[in-house]
Amino acid sequence: MSRKFLSGNEAFAEGLRLARPEVISAYPITPQTIVVERLSEMVEDGSLKAEYVHVESEHSALSCAIGASAAGARAFTATSSQGLLYMAECLYYAAGGRFPIVMMNADRSTALPWNIYGDQRDSLSQLDSGWIQAYAENAQEALDFALMSYKIAEDKRVQTPYMANLDGFVLTHTYETVDIPTREQADKFLPPYETDNRIDFENPKNMAFSAGPDTNYIFKYKEHNGLLAAAEVVNEVEADFAKIFGRQYTGLTENYLTDDADYIIVTLGSIAGLCRETADKLRSQGVKAGVVRIRYVRPFPNREIADVLRNAKAYAVLEKDISFGNEGTVFTNVNSALKKAGVDVPGYNFIGGLGGRNISPADIENIYNDIANGTESINFIGIGGEDNGE
């Protein structure tokens, strides 16, 4: 193990080198660019034995990864924002074809207005594409996702592509200390990819076929069950990971001070740390505050969220996303989890950090105050302040 001061992009690249992908096809886009630059350097210097394919677009990047996976290779791509949207058609091919490709997405705002900064509207708009979706909080978790992703995606019960999301700039371009495991540890954790879902001249079979109304629904049902199965596999893989690397993760969600909490913020990604720190501050003032960080939005942690919010007085869902004409998509998902479990607790949606806007400690404290006193159902952080566009 070695300790280095790296950005989220660089940390992810280090993790990926240890995961030994065999084919990398990617098209650069800010703020993802550095991860593919580092990977191309690793291929160049021989420390990563992979075929690096330069493609002319994101659509081709994922198409190439699908082809590589269909040939039985461990494949990787990375993108962000409009690039993810441009490859959207292929997302469904990868998931429907049950190709366990891993993609790193640098979460970034979507146009227009054009903006390169971080928010989560790009990846959350693709929740229905059939991919596992993980959200990292820090560079270490990003590196660890790179290692765990293939083990989860390639599991025979899952066979589903995996999108690891890093908040643009706040994670991708922020430097922090990261422990890099040894090659020996990584190889012990992650065996080479083996699959029957590949082109094999000895045992030819039909792949990526059509399925009409008589059978199509069966494939879709199986695809759904594959993604659902990832929930248990995430837990198993994290238990294995802890044994070898000594870092224990907590499954689809991570709870902080929620056992006796009256007021809980449910959020995802890099803002969770500031939420925890604010909860600490409020606890010292006698307010029972807690935080739930959603680590996986697909498969969605329905049971985990219902269990943790059951006894709260109110909750907020803080997300860097808005589904125009309705509400934040994570809020919709959380509310559905509660409804299914028969939990009736007042909940409020806070939309923040759009287009990379800073979310301050005071913003988080205000959320706890607002939900304790009751507020609008949907709240845009900053609107109504001194420099908003109203």
Partner 1 sequence: MQEIIWLGRGGQGAFTAAKLLGAAYTINDANKYALAFPSFGPERRGAPVRAFTKLDTKPVVDRSQTEKADYIVILDDTLYSPQLHGLLKSTGTIIVNSKNKIDGALTFDADGISAEFKLPTANTVMFGLLVGLSGVVTSDEAVEAIKNYMPAKIQERNISALLKAMQEVAE
Count of residues that bind partner 1 according to CB under 8 A: 28
Judged by CB under 8 A, does residue 174 bind partner 1?
A: yes
CB of 292 to partner 1, least distance (A): 15
Judged by CB under 8 A, does residue 170 bind partner 1?
A: yes
CB of 35 to partner 1, least distance (A): 16
CB of 336 to partner 1, least distance (A): 29
Judged by CB under 8 A, does residue 118 bind partner 1?
A: yes
Give CA–CA dist 297/134, Å, rounded: 6
Judged by CB under 8 A, does residue 291 bind partner 1?
A: no
Residue 252: how many other CB atoms lie within 10 Å: 22
Burial string for 13-27 (b: 16+ CB within 10 Å, else e) reads bbbbbbbbbbbbbbb
Judged by CB under 8 A, does residue 274 bind partner 1?
A: yes
Residue 188: how many other CB atoms lie within 10 Å: 14
Judged by CB under 8 A, does residue 182 bind partner 1?
A: no
When the beta carbons of 100 and 118 are compared against partner 1, the nearer one is: 118
Judged by CB under 8 A, does residue 117 bind partner 1?
A: yes
Judged by CB under 8 A, does residue 276 bind partner 1?
A: yes
CA nearest neighbour of 78 among 156, 8, 6 = 8
Judged by CB under 8 A, does residue 44 bind partner 1?
A: no
Q: Write each residue from 355 to 384 as x if it is in contact with partner 1 (CB under 8 A), else as -, in one continuous string.
A: -x-xxxx-----------------------
When the beta carbons of 343 and 359 are compared against partner 1, the nearer one is: 359
Instruction: Say how far residue 366 (Cα) sits from the centre of its chain.
Output: 27
CB of 253 closer than 8 Å to CB of 305: yes
Judged by CB under 8 A, does residue 323 bind partner 1?
A: no
DSSP string, 71-107: TT--EEEEE-HHHHHHTHHHHHHHHHTT---EEEEEE
Stretch that binds partner 1, among 70-78, 121-129, 167-175, 198-206 (CB under 8 A): 167-175
Determine how β-strand 347-351 pairs with β-strand 314-319: parallel
3-state class (DSSP) for residue 265? strand
Stretch that binds partner 1, among 12-20, 168-176, 306-314, 367-375 (CB under 8 A): 168-176
Tally of helices (H runs) and strands (E runs) in the chain: 13, 15
Judged by CB under 8 A, does residue 271 bind partner 1?
A: yes
- Supply the DSSP symbol for 165: E
Which spans of this chain sit near partner 1 (rule: CB under 8 A)? 3, 5, 30-31, 116-118, 138, 168-170, 173-177, 270-274, 276-277, 356, 358-361
